[in-house]
Amino acid sequence: MPSFVPLSGYQEYPVEEMRRRAQEYNREMQRRRTVRQFSDRPVPKEIIAAAIGTAGSAPSGAHRQPWHFVAVSDPAVKHRIRVEAERAEQEFYRTAPAAWLEALEPLGTDQHKPYLETAPWLIAIFAERYRVGEDEGRSVNYYVQESVGIATGFLIGALHHAGLATLTHTPSPMGFLNQVLDRPANEKAFLLLVVGYPAPDAAVPDIRRKPVAEILSWRESAPPSSRRPPASRQDR
Ligand SMILES: Cc1cc2nc3c(=O)[nH]c(=O)nc-3n(C[C@H](O)[C@H](O)[C@H](O)COP(=O)(O)O)c2cc1C
């Protein structure tokens, strides 16, 4: 039997304020960059916990919340992750299709991942492919990739909003994260987020984002003026 409560969290704003808020948020998010040089300055764990709370507020297919986050600051664990990630990346850069390597060229990335040890936090994100019940019975989750992708977007946004830098890292393959972090077989490593302050001399690739006009098209009802017949026909 579904149970309902009144919608209490919704907040409406006057249109002018909505416009301002939308533009301000856009400006804030446009400042976000993927950083690949991190400082080792510590970041309090409550900030990480609050950002993961934000990630957990994401919508999910059938409300299955098919995600798990492991926040790592232990240097020994970070070291193991770096060793495994660099091993995977070495193979990737040796065998990846030329077109993929060409696409990565402007980013200047390679198999060396020192930031996996320098940054104060690594957040490993796992996608729960299916649930395992008490009796070992399995039940499927729905739209797992989409749900975990949205939660990860929320997390990146929350960390940026808090004043931290992130790197979205996808070592390929990344199954080693299950072993290193002791996660069960029903969870699939989704990605690894490197989190911290940027190094004082951090530099980022000089790349451009597509302007809104290029990524947005409209299908609006025609404005009233264009619905009127042309003047010559009106005369008849
Ligand atoms: C799904 C995904 C996987 C990524 N994997 C890597 C990665 O393994 N290594 C890396 O250096 N950057 C990785 N990135 C970061 C992208 O290269 C970066 O977002 C892109 O170049 C745009 O730069 P910006 O985030 O500063 O706007 C990844 C980003 C996404 C969304």
Give me the half-sphere count of Cα atoms (radius 13 Å) on the Cβ side of residue 83.
7
Does residue 178 lie in a domain region? yes
The predicted structure's pLDDT at residue 233? 53
Largest CA distance in the chain: 85
Contact 125, 183 (CB under 8 A): no
Residue nearest (by alpha carbon) to ligand 1 atom 25: 34
Residue type, 10: Y
List 166's β-bridge partners, or say none.
34, 195
Domain that holds residue 146: 59-199
Structure tokens at 203: 């530099």
Question: Residue 27: helix, strand or coil by DSSP?
Answer: helix
How many Cβ atoms sit within 10 Å of the Cβ of residue 17?
Answer: 10
Does residue 123 lie in a domain region? yes
- Separation in Å, CA 2 to CA 5, 61, 139: 10, 17, 20
115 vs 141: CA distance, rounded Å: 33
Quick check: CB of 169 below 6 Å from ligand 1? yes
Does residue 133 lie in a domain region? yes
Give me the half-sphere count of Cα atoms (radius 13 Å) on the Cβ side of residue 181.
27
The predicted structure's pLDDT at residue 135? 78
- Separation in Å, CA 184 to CA 64, 77, 121: 17, 17, 22
Quick check: CB of 170 below 6 Å from ligand 1? yes
Calculate the average pLDDT of the chain.
94
Does residue 15 lie in a domain region? no
Does residue 235 lie in a domain region? no
Does residue 162 lie in a domain region? yes
Whether cis (ω within 30° of 0) applies to the bond prior to 173 is: yes
The predicted structure's pLDDT at residue 225? 75
140 vs 143: CA distance, rounded Å: 10
The predicted structure's pLDDT at residue 204? 97
Report the CATH number that the domain containing residue 65 is assigned in CATH.
Answer: 3.40.109.10
120 vs 40: CA distance, rounded Å: 6
Q: Which of 34, 192, 209 to mutate to test the pocket of ligand 1 (most atoms within 8 A of CB)?
A: 34
Does residue 66 lie in a domain region? yes
Low-confidence ranges of the chain (pLDDT < 50): 236
The predicted structure's pLDDT at residue 72? 98
Does residue 79 lie in a domain region? yes
When divided into structural domains, the chain yields a total of: 1
